[in-house]
Amino acid sequence: MLQASSCVVFDLDGTLADTSGDLLAAANSCFRAMGVGDQLGPEDAQEALNGGRAMLRRGLGRLGPVDEEVVNRWYQPLLTAYADAICVHTVLYPGVVAALETLRSEGRALAVCTNKPEGLAETLLRALHVRDYFGALVGADTLPVRKPDAAPYHLAVRQAGDAPRSMLLGDTETDYRTARAAGVPIALVTFGHEGAGVSRLQPDALLEHFEQLPELARQLLDQR
């Protein structure tokens, strides 16, 4: 098998798929179990992408001072609730599959590098029927460090075939910092929960729709 000349590495939450609905539902199940009712709504979608503990802190903060012991106590129940209903509201962003097909047909390796725990990311990608597109999946717990450390990114590229050129597609400052640490081009999507506000980070490119990704990859990977 020939080595791919380049690799596109994807973040997952907020980049490949809108996962906020199921994340918020898992957090709210914890708040209901506490006896305080739902504390998070659609307006908290961005916080959902910051992880389980961030959601717990947001909801608890609406009730009073946040006790980190309570956050830690409910973190595992939140993960369990999420795992039990990981793909109820979650959907791929429009055009993802077509873009993956085109990138693969052009000989590019594909990988996922996410701060979601690896097992949950594996389950979700399979539920969305896109796992087989990716030659590698690196999650928050694959290594002792996570994004924005560059090590998970480099591991994803190596496991996907160790292409000499690569880029990251993400939606947050964490992704931006990861790419800068790794010394690779970064494109940020404008259809995530921060929207066009990601332009403040001055990435190498902005992606408004997945149909633009193959051409953007050519610009960032083939014309440099």
How many whole angstroms separate alpha carbon 219 and alpha carbon 120? 33
Catalytic center residues: 11
Closest CA to 187 of 215, 211, 206, 214: 206
Pair 152, 146: CB distance under 8 Å: yes
- SS3 for 17-53 is EECHHHHHHHHHHHHHHHCCCCCCCHHHHHHHCCCHH
Say if residues 109 and 160 touch (Cβ distance below 8 Å).
yes
In whole angstroms, give the CA distance from residue 52 to residue 79.
7
Rounded to whole angstroms, the Cα distance separating 88 from 64 reads 31
